[in-house]
Amino acid sequence: MDSNTIRHLQESVALLPTGDLAAVDEFYKRLFELAPEVRQLFKGDMDLQAQKFSDTFAWVIEHLERPHELCQELRALGARHSGYNVRTDQYAPVGSALIWMFQRTLGDRFTPDMEEAWLEFYAFASFEMERGSRELGQPQPVHNPTLESLATGNSKR
Amino acid sequence: MSLTTAVVNHHLDQALSSPLFRKAERQSRFLRFVVDAALQSPPATIKEFDIAVAVYDRRADYDPRTDPIVRVEAARLRARLREYYEVTPPESVRIDIPKGQYVPQFIPVARGPAQAVSDLSILVPPFRSLSPDPGDQNFCDGLTEEVVYKLAQDHRIRVITQSAAAWLEQREKPKPRYLLEASVRRVDAQIRLTLHLMELTGGGATRFSNIYQATTNEIFATQERLADEIRRDLSAALHIDNAGSERVH
């Protein structure tokens, strides 16, 4: 992802209403419309699930310019999803629902450049999650806290 | 170099039988669909709607504006193809699906001997010291050696030092794909290392940048820790696994 992509991602998230989970509700509603079979994977409290999604989403946006930490977290997330029996093909409707969430919530303020940025980011993120799923059971690299790593750039795919 | 339908199909079969594609059934069908359409004579037009119906089982009332699944999957397919070619350099042809379209391009590959193993080649000139103390260049030289050593542990990365680059230039071997540049600033015991990985092919874009901080206590241990950190970050930026380990798909 280049700096323009990151800027479009950040700008689109900044336009989302803060303090409520309406956008996340739209995401899940759309996901279950597109892929009803996914619904059975969410057996817990959906309000709690929405809050977890929102928290993860916020963390990811904050770490867009820290590719090492972002990759590690996405791989760990992918490994956890592997435990929920999520298949590679099931990442597709998630990406579609994500774009829908922005379209539905932001309307015309969600520009084609923003959509392109989210398509690129989702390809990157879902691929790292797939990788984490494949690496499940292998020891994960641990960030060395003794060396402060200040990312100023980003990985480009 | 001309490409025949048979060559493209053979390459497609190879790619789709790889572990990376075997677990991605829909994206494999997506790739097969667009390649088949492009190989028709005359080539068939490929629209988002056609892919949605043929590959993603969407109905005739499918509206790409409200369900961007094809665009989502096209982006993921491009990423998967990139990953596939980084692990398995193509022998005769490379399939590319340019951004913004679904018609694949079949790019003939003229592969030189040095590219046979990997196209993850990185030129690593000596790291520069920006401090006034000339002795600091020794730390930089040692750190460069350590980073070269760590990167070379991964057999898929071709590490090229500055002296080797001069030799390759004379032999007209393929140019490295990446340049790794770093500079070090020191104030008392505090060290700040700024690192950039740039693509030498294409537009010369910066692929990865980072700043690392350390102290000059225990110089060898510091160099080793920094080199480990850099190697891990570059592996992540280049989307390859930990040094020395084969991918498990």
Q: For the segment B35-78, what is each residue's pLDDT rounded down to a tens digit?
A: 999 998 888 889 999 999 999 999 999 999 989 999 999 999 99
Residues A34, A35, A36: CA angle, nearest 5 degrees? 110
pLDDT of residue A154: 31
Asked if residue B230 has pLDDT above 80, the reply is yes
Q: What tokens does A156 get?
A: 């480009």
Asked if residue A103 has pLDDT above 70, the reply is yes
| Cβ pair A100, A43 in contact under 8 A | no
DSSP B115: G
Judge residue B237's burial from the number of C-beta atoms within 10 Å of its C-beta, 0-12 exposed, 13-18 middle, 19 or more buried. buried
Question: Which segment of A29-33, A68-72, A142-146, B27-31 scores lowest on mean pLDDT?
Answer: A142-146
| Cβ pair B137, B227 in contact under 8 A | no
| Cβ pair A121, A9 in contact under 8 A | yes
Judge residue B84's burial from the number of C-beta atoms within 10 Å of its C-beta, 0-12 exposed, 13-18 middle, 19 or more buried. buried
**Structure-token match 């303090």, residue found:** A19
Asked if residue B149 has pLDDT above 90, the reply is no
Q: What tokens does B113 get?
A: 């001997």
Residues 6+ apart with CB under 8 A from B224: B146
Compute φ and ψ for B112, nearest 5 degrees: -85, 165
Question: B72, A99: Cβ pair inside 8 Å?
Answer: yes
Question: B236, A100: Cβ pair inside 8 Å?
Answer: no
Cα–Cα dist B71/B83, whole Å: 19
List pLDDT tens digits, range B85-97: 877 888 889 999 9
pLDDT of residue B91: 82
Q: Does ipTM come in above 0.90?
A: no
Query: Where does the pLDDT of residue B244 fall: very low under 50, low under 70, confident under 90, or very high at 90 and above?
Result: very low
Task: Considering only residues A52 and B152, tell me which one the structure prediction assigns the higher pLDDT.
Answer: A52
Question: Which chain B residue lies closest to A144 (C-alpha atoms)?
Answer: B229
pLDDT of residue B194: 94
Mean pLDDT (whole number) for A140-146: 31
Nearest to A96 among B72, B229, B242 (CB): B72
Asked if residue B204 has pLDDT above 80, the reply is no
